[in-house]
Structure 1
Amino acid sequence: MHSHDRYHQELASLLLPHPWFRPLLETVRALALPDWFIGAGVIRTLVWDHLHSYAAPTPLADVDVVFFDPADLRPARDAEVQAMLVARRPDVPWEATNQAAVHLWYESAFGFAVPPLASSADGVGTWPETATSVGVRLLPDDTLEIAAPCGLEDLFQLTLRRNPRRISEAQFRERVRAKRIRERWPRVQVIDG
């Protein structure tokens, strides 16, 4: 079995029965958003907590939900989706982003323009670290679809590495410091640059 297949199976076996995460997948699936995924830090945190054998989960700043709706690029669309999620699960710190609209606001938020994305998986592939460039969605048959444009190796090998597609080395170093990666997960190897 290739590591790609093994890691996909391992991720599915961790997330599908997870008592806290599985209901989140069901909540987002119920909204029937186009091309949706839950991803980024929530996936990394669940996997790295598991690999560190932590009994208590690391607190989450947010749960990122992405979708791809080129038919509705209004800035209010993200807030509407987020409000629908909060109405269903007010206990979850949801953050929703229409990946079809990212290129319209990214420069004003981060100082440089980005090209339009082709899909939610394309957006997942731009996330800051390879280990967080992972999105999952629950399909109608209750199987897990995984978008991991940078692979799952870094996630499961406890490696934090910059995704060069979107952030600079300086931004990466600041994220590592601000998120206290080494304090939270001491077995993680940070690859600078």
Structure 2
Amino acid sequence: MGKPKRPIPGEMMANVEAGYEQQLCDLVRSSGRLMAALQAARSLGLSSWCIGAGSIRSLVWDGLHGFQQPSDVDDVDVAYFDAQAPRGLDAELQERLHRILPNVPWEVTNQARVHEWFADTLGATVAPLSSLDDGLATWPEYATCVGIYLDACGALKIIAPYGLNDLFELRVRHNSRRASVSTFMHRVQSKRFKERWPRLSVCNP
């Protein structure tokens, strides 16, 4: 018998990513709180949506740190994409979610209208986003650019435009796609990443 064939680097990376995807799905299924939030969000009937950002990031980092109690999150971010939706739909959807799970700090955002928020709130001109995946790809840290949703059959699906390496390897790196360095550094300090999860590596931009 010949020697076993060594996997090439691309295959190794794919295997690692698949392992992280399985770990993420296992962690999500183990969280009754997050599964209930996902089921509530699915009931809205949106065609392109996910729960992402801090809810997913905190769940993974808590698990990797062996925490028995889940960390508090400022909000549960429901991101969706609908270029035809009226401006007031975010608030309407948020109210519907509050009626289903009133103790969850919901935050609903149509990624198709984020450029309007930049213009109205910051006076900044940015290009419209083209999809939900494109929206996630602009979030300030690569480890944060991850979303989960339930499909029509109840299966968990992952959106991760940059993969899951930073999230599972406990790296906090600046994503310069849209967030400035100052915004990134402010988030690192205000969210107390290193204090709350000591094993993190915060990479200077």
> TM-score normalised to the size of structure 2?
0.90
Query: What whole-Å deviation, never above 9, does each CA across 1:112-151 have from its counterpart, x for those lacking one?
Result: 2221111111101111110010011011222111110121
Correspondent of 1:68 among 75, 81, 85: 81
Runs of 4+ in 1 over 3 A off after TM superposition: none
Hey, what does 2:156 align to over in structure 1? 144
* Contact 1:169–1:192 (Cα < 8 Å) also in 2: no
What is the aligned residue count?
192
- 2 CA distance for matches of 1:137 and 1:78? 18
Q: What amino acid is aligned across from residue 39 of structure 1 in structure 2?
A: G
Query: Does 1:168 find its partner at 2:180?
Result: yes
> Which stretches in structure 2 are left out of the alignment for 5+ residues?
1-13
Query: Does 1:179 find its partner at 2:196?
Result: no
Superposed, 1:63-142 pairs within 5 Å as 63-74=76-87, 76-142=88-154
TM-aligned CA distance change 1:175 to 1:111, over 3 Å? farther
Superposed, 1:48-59 pairs within 5 Å as 48-59=61-72
Hey, what does 2:56 align to over in structure 1? 43
> Which stretches in structure 1 are left out of the alignment for 5+ residues?
none
Query: What whole-Å deviation, never above 9, does each CA across 1:69-95 have from its counterpart, x for those lacking one?
Result: 111141x11111111111111000000
- 2 CA distance for matches of 1:156 and 1:126? 19
TM-aligned CA distance change 1:73 to 1:115, over 3 Å? farther
Q: What amino acid is aligned across from residue 156 of structure 1 in structure 2?
A: F
What SS does the aligned partner of 2:32 have?
coil
Hey, what does 1:188 align to over in structure 2? 200
Q: What amino acid is aligned across from residue 63 of structure 2 in structure 1?
A: H
- 1 CA distance for matches of 2:105 and 2:174? 25
- 2 CA distance for matches of 1:150 and 1:109? 28
Task: State the 1:111 CA deviation.
Answer: 4.3
The structure number with the bigger radius of gyration is 2
What SS does the aligned partner of 2:51 have?
strand
Same amino acid, percent of matched pairs: 46
Task: State the 1:101 CA deviation.
Answer: 1.0
- 2 CA distance for matches of 1:51 and 1:18? 14
Q: What amino acid is aligned across from residue 131 of structure 2 in structure 1?
A: S
Q: What amino acid is aligned across from residue 145 of structure 2 in structure 1?
A: S
> TM-score normalised to the size of structure 1?
0.95
What SS does the aligned partner of 1:51 have?
helix
What SS does the aligned partner of 2:30 have?
coil
Correspondent of 2:39 among 20, 26, 29: 26
What SS does the aligned partner of 1:123 have?
helix
Task: State the 1:17 CA deviation.
Answer: 3.4
